[in-house]
Amino acid sequence: MVTKEMRVGKYELGKTLGEGNSANVKLARDTVSGQSFAVKIIDKSRISRLNVSLQIKREIRTLKVLKHPNVVRLHEVLASKTNIYMVLEYVTGGDLFDRIVCEGKISEREGRKMFQQLIDGLNYCHYKGVFHRDLKLENVLLDAKGHIKITDFGRLPHVAPEVLVNKGYDGAASDIWSCGVILYAILTGCLPFDDTNLAAICRKIVKGDPPIPRWISPGAKTMIKRMLDPNPMTRITIAGIKANDWFKHDYSTPSNCHDEDDAISIQDVYEEEKTSDSPTVINAFQLIGMSLFLDLSGLFETENVSERQIRFTTNKPVVDVLDKIKTVLMEMGFCVQKKHTMLKAIQEESTRKGQGGLSVTAEVFEIIPLLNVVELRKSHGDSSLYNQLCERLSNELDT
């Protein structure tokens, strides 16, 4: 006899598959079809205490628009007075990390097939406007047939070098770097950047050029090096990967997932919620990097970080903060462009004698709801003018 506590709608809950700070995952069976699912159970009171309700909502919204054979599928969301239940595709083959730990490196033929599926899934996500930003071996699941399933939209060696040196980063380029780390681990059985010393790991990541074992084919070697290029501007793109001869070997073009019924992007979903000006949610590693005391950029460069960027914290509404920054910039003679929570401003030549032009960006990051970080960065230009801008914004924002 199934008790009420063991059942949610038509789903009968079973053993626990995993536990976290704000959610547990249980195996579940659809009592109508008999199909197995993984149900993520989120305690409403816990997410309220942890101030992560916005992140949970975004996770649900994101998963709803992703329908691809190489991405874990969200089937439906249920709710009670106390819990939220996310009914997810149940993937039985474990994750890629456990596979490599247990069996070691994977043959190039099988590894390439996995990599092709990983890139197909990632390409689809990027097409939808979704950037994973936390790709790692543990977030790549395997089904019963060994097919790749991307999940959990970090272990340090997966992080891109531009994140470590605190220069901001492009989500697509960062995902490519992480895929390069995953490909290296698939083909060698180990991570490309490893050391017992944290600073040494960071230096290796920023330098790039991991050691390539002799058994790796020239084509795979080239692919790894192109993906683990420490310069995001010259790092290979998904289009470049898919055009590569090594990648195309025995490659089967995936079925078209960009159909009309599924053409909504994650940006469209956010627009529905009127959150186009919502701040970017940053992860713990980025938060550490934002600390002046823990800023890792000093390990790699001699320039004083404070001379090119400044940060404020604020609990003011994001729209108000962005409007204030834009007003100040325009009053100082800058041409301003706005995209979501980022402002790009340029002043070709200062009206004041002896000062040159200045190019800056301002962006808002969310730590937790109602606590935001405003980051002002100088791309290039007059330092004295930049200092004046920083001082004025600090006074105007009064944060």
Give the contacts of 266 (CB within 8 A, at least 6 positions apart): 61, 62, 65, 128, 129, 130
Are 205 and 143 contacting, i.e. CB atoms less than 8 angstroms apart? no
C-alpha 300/C-alpha 97 separation (Å) is 29
C-alpha 178/C-alpha 238 separation (Å) is 12
Nearest Cα neighbor of 371 from 282, 265, 253, 254 is: 282
For residue 210, the SS3 value is: coil
C-alpha 241/C-alpha 255 separation (Å) is 18
C-alpha 227/C-alpha 214 separation (Å) is 19
**Residue 134 falls in the annotated catalytic set:** yes
Contacts 24+ apart (CB under 8 A), 189-195: 189/100, 189/104, 189/105, 189/106, 191/157, 192/157, 192/224, 192/228, 193/157, 194/157
| Phi, psi (degrees; rounded to nearest 5) at 87 | -90, 110
Are 120 and 67 contacting, i.e. CB atoms less than 8 angstroms apart? no
Q: Which of 30, 95, 120, 134 is catalytic?
A: 134
Instruction: Count Cβ atoms within 10 A of the Cβ of residue 343 and give its class: 0-12 exposed, 13-18 middle, 19 or more buried.
Output: buried
| Phi, psi (degrees; rounded to nearest 5) at 19 | -135, 145
C-alpha 302/C-alpha 354 separation (Å) is 27
Is 40 assigned a ligand-binding role in the annotation? yes
C-alpha 146/C-alpha 116 separation (Å) is 13
* Rg of the chain taking only CA atoms, in angstroms: 23
Q: Give the position of tokens 């990967």.
A: 241
For residue 359, the SS3 value is: strand
C-alpha 172/C-alpha 239 separation (Å) is 11
C-alpha 11/C-alpha 211 separation (Å) is 49
**Tokens encoding 177:** 């770097």
Annotated catalytic residues are 134
Binding-site residues sit at 40
